[in-house]
Chains A and B, each alone.
Chain A
C-alpha cells in the first residue's frame, strides 16, 4: 500500500531521484556503482535528507530488496538485565537507533555487529550494512567499543552512522569512516520539492503559502512537507491565506519565552516550569528545547546582551549533557537569562 503521508509517498528511492545537492548525488552514484562501500558517516541538520540518501545509496548497491523491511523487537542480555530494542531489517541491512536504550547501547551495538559479522550472507554480496541512527547520542563507551568492532568485522559488515553533529562523535571513529555532509536544503531546493509534490497531487501551490512554509519550517524539508499536507487537509486545498500550522511544542516554547521576557521573578519561573514539563513529557529532546528557546530569546532581546545569552545557553547545554535532569539545566538557563535581562534593563533605565 502506497503511503498517504506525503513525507513517505514522495520520498526519492534511488539516487537519481534525489532532488537537490546534485554534486553529492554524483558521489553517491559513483559509490553505489562501485559495488563496495567504506564505512560511512552522514552528518547534517535534521530534515536535510540524510536518511533518504543513505537508503537511496543502499538501493543503488543492493537493488530494490532494501526497501522490503520487517520490524522486529530484539532482546539482548546485559548481565542480568534484558535490553529490548526494535530494529528494521531487510536481507541486506539493519536499521536501528541504539540511543533508545540509553546507557546500555554499547552491548546492543556490539552484539548486532558481531552477529552479522559472523554469519554468511544469502546473496553473493559479501557484506551487510548496519545503519546506526543518532550516532552522536551514543555514549562514549559505545563509541569506543564501535571503534574496535568496525575493524574486526570489516570483511563482512559496513556501518553507516547518521548524526546531526560531528563534534560528539569521537575522533578515532571519524577517521575510520568516510564523512559525508548533507547540508540543509536551500530555499530554492525546498521550493522545487514542494512544487513537485503539489503538482503530483494536482494542486496549485500559491507563491505566498510557499514562502510562508519555507520560512516556518526552518529549512527542514520533512517539516515543510508535513506542514503543506496539514494545510491541505485543513482547507481541502492549498489556500494562499491559510496560516501555517506550527507544532504545538514550538508554540509552547514561544509562550515560555514571552513569560520570561514579561516578568523576571521566581514566581514566573514556577509558571515556566509547568510548561517545560509538558514539552519534555511529549518527548521533545531537551537539546531542541534549548535551541528553540535560545533562538527565541536572542531574537527578542537587546543587542547588547545577545552574546552573553548565547554563551550562557551553550554553557548550560554542555552541563546538561553531563547531568541527568535536563529540566534543572533548562530552568537554570532561564533564571540566568532573567538575571542578565533584568540587570541590563535596569542599567538602561538609569
Chain B
C-alpha cells in the first residue's frame, strides 16, 4: 500500500528524461492538527506548499470551511485536495437545497469517508482532519486515511509532521481508550486558549525537524459564538 503512495518529484529535471517515468501523484507536504474540547474545536495547518526539496509557496491555506460548524484541514497532493474540497462543497450545496439546512459535522464526516472510498482504486492522495461542533454543540474531530477509514477522536494530527506531533498530543491529552466500556468522553479537558497554545507549540516544534512544515500556521477556532481565525509565523528555513 505504501508503495502506491510513494511521493515523487512532479516535474522532471529539464531536458533529462531518460528512464523517467511519469507519476500522477506528488506530495506537497504539510501538517494538520485538530483538538476538540467540551464546547469548542481548534483546527490548524501550516501554510507551506512544497515539492521535493523546493518550496512552491509559503502562504497556501490547507484549511477549508465546508459549513458554518465544520472545517476540513488536508495535506498530501494539493491537486487532489482541491478537487476533494470542491467535491464536498458541491455535495453540501445539494444537501442544502434538499434539506434546507446545513449538514451536521458527523454527517459531513461520513460523507468525506464515502467520497474517499469512492476513489478506492485511484485514491485522492489526501490526509484529512475534519473538525467542528456536533449536534449537541460539543467539539468533534474526525481523522482519516487516504481511502476513507475514519474515526472520531478528541485530537488528531495528519500529514508530513504527524509523527512529530501525535506523540506530544498523546502525552499531553491522553484520552480514554475507545475500547473502554462504558464509552468515555473523547473531547479533551483543555480550555480553548490552552488548546490554541498547545497547537502553536506543536507546530513550532514540528517546523524545527520537518522540512515540509513551516512558514506559518493558520488556526481556526469554532465555538458557540461562531468561527475565528488566527495566524502565527513559523520558521521559513
A, B bound: no
Footprint of B on A, CB under 8 Å? none
